[in-house]
Chains A and B, each alone.
Chain A
Amino acid sequence: MQWETVIGLEVHVQLATRSKIFSGASTAFGAEPNSQACAVDLGLPGVLPVLNEQAVAMAVQFGLGIHAEIPEVSVFDRKNYFYPDLPKGYQTSQMYQPIVGPGEVEITLDEGATKRIRVHHAHLEEDAGKSLHEDFHGMTGIDLNRAGTPLLEIVSEPDMRSAKEAAAYLKAIHSIVTYLGISDGNMAEGSMRCDVNVSVRPAGQEAFGTRAEIKNVNSFRFVERAIEFEVERQIELIEDGGEVVQETRLFDPEADETRSMRTKEEANDYRYFPCPDLLPVVLDQAYVDHLRDTLPELPADKRARFENEFGLSAYDAGVLSASRAMAEYFERVKEVCGDAKQAANWVQGELSGALNREGLTIADSPVSADRLGELIVRVLDDTINGKAAKQVFQALWHGEGDSADAIIEAKGLKQVTDTGAIESMIDQVIEDSPVQVAQYRDAEPEKRGKMIGYFVGQVMKASRGTANPQQVNAMLKDKLDALC
């Protein structure tokens, strides 16, 4: 039987506010346990939450970024359950009236095709703390530094049909939130996590199958793998005459499988009700308009502009707009060198290669966009040839000089275009290669084209790479043909 996979994602994005969503404690990552938990975060008696305005602004920016409805009023609710790292015994969240209404996210698939994934809503909530099960001699340690960190939970419609689409969606969300600067998007530190709802149904069937929810998947790769495993598990289960049960599962990246955590019957009744300590959030139109007016250009718009304005291929435009840092770098290179295609080639080629080799992100690139742009200028104005340019890039990368020009100068890489100089090098090579010259002369004229490569190589070597290869080629051909 043909099966269709149906996937919906709940993505939790940690917002990059300086302080927590309901308290003044810092949100910085990696501090000593419980050093960033104030009385509010600890849930001490008598303390009250005060909403962080920055978290609201960031949520609204996200909503605007996915062209969502922004309701005038949103309300915080309490989600009640007991857990040691949930200090108040409830999580303050938004159940009934979220801050961001329906919107949509465009994803790009491998073939460059795009698809729209609908977002059901996004809501603000506070994160819980962390339970530490090691090093406490059979007891559990509680670190509440993370408690109260603002999260934006983005809930998609079940619009994805493959693990690849789910990963592309997650990447698109990642790209939007980092473009907006509302999250650092650092998945390793848990700044973005997602719960994946997966079900399968016979192709052509309208009704959804029973879904399983895979909790807390924290990388693009794990999302794909978790879905692939889960889809296979569900199909096998059904084909063997079994039934998928609605349950929560955990993905274990070590074992590369999902495991049952709790079934629907064991699920908590969260007893949601409006939080009486917080007033409804009322957004006036002017506030929303202001945020809309100051929104940065988002990935989809940027991609379209790169294609239309710069004439880049859909693929190049997609890669270069994938992250805000990448796009800003590329645009700066383009601005300095004036040639979008060259800029695109260099950023995706030499630069990305070097970054990947050393495991760096573009933000950490030792070669700034300005330096790279200046280097490209020297290629474009024929000061250096392509081979020398790669040498200059490597030198810049390793900090051997402050600018492309300084390195060209120091290394003597300036392209030789002086006909006299090239001519004397050619004459020398011809004189030193009597055998090859004889072979050339004896060859059929149509085979000579290939044989000229040897002489070009020798001349380039003699010039230590600085001769203009096209010029060398043309002059050699004239000289050799004159000898025939």
Chain B
Amino acid sequence: MHDKTLTELAAGLRAGEFSSRELTQDLLGRIDRLDGRLNSFITVTADQALATADQADATRAAGEAGPLTGLPLALKDIFCTRDVKTSCGSRMLDNFAAPYDAGIVERLANAGTVSLGKTNMDEFAMGSSNENSFYGPVKNPWDFDAVPGGSSGGSAAAVAAGLVPAAMGTDTGGSIRQPAAFCGITGLKPTYGRVSRYGMIAYASSLDQAGPMARSAEDCAHLLGAVAGHDVRDSTCVARGVPDYAADLDAPLSGLKIGLPTEYFGDGLDPAVASAVREAIKVYESLGATVMDVSLPHTHYAIPAYYVIAPAEASSNLSRYDGVRFGHRCEDPTDLVDLYKRSRAEGFGEEVKRRILIGTHTLSEGFFDAYYKKAQQVRRLIRQDFLDAFDEVDVLMGPASPTPAFDLGANKDPVSMYLQDIYTIAVNLAGIPGISVPAGFSGNRPIGLQILGTHFAEARLLNVAHQFQQATDWHLRRPAFAEESA
């Protein structure tokens, strides 16, 4: 059961081949046996999962099951879950259990899904390798020497290793798409405002967006349909109808206009990745698509702009972790300033502190105009680049990451780590949706093809991704780890 897609599992449940309890038990057993080596979960909610699975089976028996009823999944530990620890990968929140469920957690529960637990992540979603977790790094199931990507590394690894068929992640600068690429799964970052941010712990509020990570575009379509839509508790969540994302998956691609941003195929792109992406483009051509080069001239400003805006927002968003009301508090504070300083010094990891410092600096008097304001101007130009490109083409394609998964510990220098996000970060600045789909390997390490669309074009992206998956089998490959330990 562990290697099936969500869609296949749904069919199995419908046909009565197995119950949700059996499925849940099977996967909990795998987590129990395998995750010690993978470290993809921070919290496993076995009892709660079984109880939910029983309810799902009862719902099905009563003839009231929906399409997702009884399907197991996992939640990145950034989504607040009532009375269950939500750590955000940080010591700061190691003792925190929210008194509420995040908007998407509610929706997934209402859809009848069964959460098996909370997945590992870079602390406060800051990182591209999952090495910045208080709970230790996650291994890439394809190669234990490699990182799974980040920040949704736990979610990606758990799906790839067959511990769950799907997981929810968040993407602020590539945190769904890059780990999806590194772990050989499909990950969708929706349009900013498509999915509620309520109850999702903020890193950079104007960039954060939750999305599904699964074994196929079709699975992502079903999950997106369940979580998307207006939430009055999030002012930035758009009141706009949610289409049936699965409805047009089979639409033919003849006439599809694909743009290849020349900036995404330049220096620094690993040859194996470049070649896998070019092969994928050929597949699309064979499906009737036409391909043209386009330019996103402000691409090289994306990383600097992001590393001004995201840390600025983070420095403010993370001010609430002060040891006063919840979260880590230092022992025996001597006074208020001591309480603040030590609680935060002890509670936050190095990368989080680095970004708080960067953000505090760029917002400071005398620097604000030069950094934050300028970065916002650049952000508008980057957005305009995409809008101009989408006047010419339907979708943009390129690599999700310049390299396949790199080795654990390989990127010690923060800036070289930041450069990993060169192809994903501009997408968040522009607010458009993007999906990463498996498109080959470099040795035993997967390669991801990134497909981008204009705002709210998720249905089109999913259709384009699904058609690729109908023509290829990269998404069906499973790591040896998942199989040998079955």
Q: Which residues of A contact B (CB under 8 A)?
A: 39, 42-51, 78, 80, 82, 84, 87-90, 140, 142, 269, 271-273, 276-279
Query: What 4 additional pairs, Cβ within 8 angstroms, besides A43-B320, A45-B93, A46-B79?
Result: A46-B86, A271-B365, A272-B363, A279-B235
Min CB distance B155 to A, Å, is 17
Q: Taking the complex as formed, is B98 at the interface, i.e. its CB lies under 8 A from any CB of chain A?
A: yes
Q: Collect the chain B residues with CB atoms within 8 Å of residue A82's CB.
A: 319, 322, 340
Residues of B367-399 whose CB lies within 8 A of A: 368, 372
In the complex the two chains form, is B233's CB within 8 Å of A48's CB? yes
In the complex the two chains form, is B235's CB within 8 Å of A84's CB? no
Q: Known contacts being A46-B198, A276-B206, A279-B235, is A89 close to B320, with CB within 8 Å?
A: yes
In the complex the two chains form, is A273's CB within 8 Å of B235's CB? no
In the assembled complex, 10 residue pairs joining A and B whose CB atoms fall closer than 8 Å, in A order, are: A47-B198, A48-B198, A48-B234, A50-B235, A80-B319, A273-B316, A273-B363, A273-B372, A276-B313, A277-B205
In the complex the two chains form, is B235's CB within 8 Å of A49's CB? yes
Q: Collect the chain B residues with CB atoms within 8 Å of residue A43's CB.
A: 320, 325
In the complex the two chains form, is A80's CB within 8 Å of B363's CB? yes
Min CB distance B322 to A, Å, is 6
Q: Taking the complex as formed, is B195 at the interface, i.e. its CB lies under 8 A from any CB of chain A?
A: no
Q: Looking across the interface, which residue of chain A has its beta carbon closest to that of B78? A: A46
In the complex the two chains form, is A279's CB within 8 Å of B363's CB? no
Q: Mark B272-291, 1 if CB is under 8 A from A, else 0.
A: 00000000000000000000
Q: Taking the complex as formed, is B31 at the interface, i.e. its CB lies under 8 A from any CB of chain A?
A: no
Q: Known contacts being A84-B324, A89-B322, is A46 close to B233, with CB within 8 Å?
A: no
Min CB distance A454 to B, Å, is 79
The answer for the CA separation of A90 and B99 in the assembled complex, in Å, is: 22
Residues of B79-127 whose CB lies within 8 A of A: 79-80, 86, 88, 93, 96, 98-100, 102
In the complex the two chains form, is B80's CB within 8 Å of A48's CB? no
Q: Collect the chain A residues with CB atoms within 8 Å of residue B79's CB.
A: 46
The answer for the CA separation of A278 and B205 in the assembled complex, in Å, is: 10
The 9 tightest CB contacts between A and B, nearest first, are A89-B319, A271-B363, A276-B205, A276-B206, A46-B199, A43-B320, A46-B80, A45-B201, A88-B320
Q: Which residues of B contact A (CB under 8 A)?
A: 79-80, 86, 88, 93, 96, 98-100, 102, 197-202, 204-206, 232-236, 312-313, 315-316, 318-320, 322, 324-326, 336, 340, 360, 363-365, 368, 372
Min CB distance B201 to A, Å, is 4
Q: Collect the chain B residues with CB atoms within 8 Å of residue A46's CB.
A: 79-80, 86, 98, 100, 102, 198-202
A39, A48, A277: residue with the most chain B Cβ atoms closer than 10 Å: A48
A49, A51, A273, A278: residue with the most chain B Cβ atoms closer than 10 Å: A273
In the complex the two chains form, is A89's CB within 8 Å of B235's CB? no
Q: Collect the chain A residues with CB atoms within 8 Å of residue B232's CB.
A: 50
The answer for the CA separation of A271 and B311 in the assembled complex, in Å, is: 13
Q: Known contacts being A45-B98, A46-B202, A48-B234, is A87 close to B372, with CB within 8 Å?
A: no
The answer for the CA separation of A89 and B363 in the assembled complex, in Å, is: 15
Q: Collect the chain B residues with CB atoms within 8 Å of residue A84's CB.
A: 322, 324, 336
In the complex the two chains form, is B100's CB within 8 Å of A39's CB? yes
In the complex the two chains form, is B99's CB within 8 Å of A39's CB? yes
Q: Collect the chain B residues with CB atoms within 8 Å of residue A45's CB.
A: 80, 86, 88, 93, 96, 98, 201-202, 320, 326
Min CB distance A19 to B, Å, is 14
Q: Collect the chain B residues with CB atoms within 8 Å of residue A78's CB.
A: 316
In the complex the two chains form, is B235's CB within 8 Å of A51's CB? yes
In the complex the two chains form, is A80's CB within 8 Å of B99's CB? no
The answer for the CA separation of A432 and B412 in the assembled complex, in Å, is: 119
The answer for the CA separation of A80 and B360 in the assembled complex, in Å, is: 10
In the complex the two chains form, is B198's CB within 8 Å of A88's CB? no
The answer for the CA separation of A84 and B199 in the assembled complex, in Å, is: 23
Q: Collect the chain B residues with CB atoms within 8 Å of residue A269's CB.
A: 364-365
In the complex the two chains form, is B235's CB within 8 Å of A48's CB? yes
The answer for the CA separation of A88 and B320 in the assembled complex, in Å, is: 4
In the complex the two chains form, is A90's CB within 8 Å of B316's CB? yes
Q: Collect the chain A residues with CB atoms within 8 Å of residue B98's CB.
A: 39, 44-46
Q: Looking across the interface, which residue of chain A has its beta carbon closest to that of B80? A: A46
The answer for the CA separation of A206 and B64 in the assembled complex, in Å, is: 80
The answer for the CA separation of A51 and B236 in the assembled complex, in Å, is: 11
Min CB distance B473 to A, Å, is 39
Q: Known contacts being A82-B340, A277-B236, is A42 close to B325, with CB within 8 Å?
A: yes
Min CB distance A45 to B, Å, is 4
Q: Looking across the interface, which residue of chain A has its beta carbon closest to that of B359? A: A271
The answer for the CA separation of A82 and B79 in the assembled complex, in Å, is: 25
The answer for the CA separation of A46 and B318 in the assembled complex, in Å, is: 11
Min CB distance B151 to A, Å, is 16
Min CB distance B383 to A, Å, is 15
Min CB distance B210 to A, Å, is 11
The answer for the CA separation of A87 and B319 in the assembled complex, in Å, is: 9
Q: Collect the chain A residues with CB atoms within 8 Å of residue B93's CB.
A: 45
The answer for the CA separation of A140 and B197 in the assembled complex, in Å, is: 33
The answer for the CA separation of A45 and B102 in the assembled complex, in Å, is: 10
Q: Collect the chain B residues with CB atoms within 8 Å of residue A42's CB.
A: 325-326
Q: Looking across the interface, which residue of chain A has its beta carbon closest to that of B88? A: A45
The answer for the CA separation of A39 and B201 in the assembled complex, in Å, is: 13
Q: Looking across the interface, which residue of chain B has its beta carbon closest to that of A85? A: B324
Q: Which of B199, B205, B316 contacts A89 (CB 8 A)?
A: B316
Q: Looking across the interface, which residue of chain A has its beta carbon closest to that of B200? A: A46
Q: Collect the chain A residues with CB atoms within 8 Å of residue B205's CB.
A: 276-277
In the complex the two chains form, is A277's CB within 8 Å of B235's CB? yes
B86, B98, B102, B324: residue with the most chain A Cβ atoms closer than 10 Å: B324
Q: Looking across the interface, which residue of chain A has its beta carbon closest to that of B198? A: A48
Q: Looking across the interface, which residue of chain B has its beta carbon closest to that of A140? A: B336
Q: Collect the chain A residues with CB atoms within 8 Å of residue B88's CB.
A: 45
In the complex the two chains form, is B320's CB within 8 Å of A87's CB? yes
Q: Looking across the interface, which residue of chain B has its beta carbon closest to that of A34? A: B325
The answer for the CA separation of A278 and B316 in the assembled complex, in Å, is: 14
Q: Collect the chain A residues with CB atoms within 8 Å of residue B326's CB.
A: 42, 44-45
Min CB distance B169 to A, Å, is 15
Q: Collect the chain A residues with CB atoms within 8 Å of residue B200's CB.
A: 46
The answer for the CA separation of A271 and B360 in the assembled complex, in Å, is: 7
Q: Collect the chain A residues with CB atoms within 8 Å of residue B336's CB.
A: 84, 140
The answer for the CA separation of A254 and B342 in the assembled complex, in Å, is: 38
The answer for the CA separation of A355 and B457 in the assembled complex, in Å, is: 69
Min CB distance A23 to B, Å, is 10
Min CB distance B208 to A, Å, is 9
Q: Collect the chain A residues with CB atoms within 8 Å of residue B235's CB.
A: 48-51, 277-279
Min CB distance B175 to A, Å, is 16
The answer for the CA separation of A78 and B99 in the assembled complex, in Å, is: 25
Min CB distance B82 to A, Å, is 11
Q: Collect the chain A residues with CB atoms within 8 Å of residue B96's CB.
A: 45
Q: Collect the chain A residues with CB atoms within 8 Å of residue B102's CB.
A: 46
In the complex the two chains form, is B80's CB within 8 Å of A87's CB? no
Min CB distance B483 to A, Å, is 37
Q: Collect the chain A residues with CB atoms within 8 Å of residue B99's CB.
A: 39, 44
Q: Looking across the interface, which residue of chain A has its beta carbon closest to that of B323? A: A84
The answer for the CA separation of A88 and B318 in the assembled complex, in Å, is: 8
The answer for the CA separation of A133 and B453 in the assembled complex, in Å, is: 56
Q: Collect the chain B residues with CB atoms within 8 Å of residue A271's CB.
A: 315-316, 360, 363-365, 368
In the complex the two chains form, is B199's CB within 8 Å of A88's CB? no
The answer for the CA separation of A45 and B319 in the assembled complex, in Å, is: 11
Q: Looking across the interface, which residue of chain A has its beta carbon closest to that of B197? A: A48
The answer for the CA separation of A82 and B339 in the assembled complex, in Å, is: 11
The answer for the CA separation of A277 and B202 in the assembled complex, in Å, is: 10
Q: Looking across the interface, which residue of chain B has its beta carbon closest to that of A279? A: B235
Q: Collect the chain B residues with CB atoms within 8 Å of residue A272's CB.
A: 363, 368
Q: Looking across the interface, which residue of chain A has its beta carbon closest to that of B344? A: A82
The answer for the CA separation of A51 and B336 in the assembled complex, in Å, is: 31
Min CB distance B363 to A, Å, is 4
Min CB distance B105 to A, Å, is 10
Q: Collect the chain B residues with CB atoms within 8 Å of residue A89's CB.
A: 316, 318-320, 322
The answer for the CA separation of A39 and B100 in the assembled complex, in Å, is: 9
Min CB distance A14 to B, Å, is 23
Q: Looking across the interface, which residue of chain A has its beta carbon closest to that of B339? A: A84
The answer for the CA separation of A90 and B312 in the assembled complex, in Å, is: 13
Q: Collect the chain A residues with CB atoms within 8 Å of residue B364's CB.
A: 269, 271
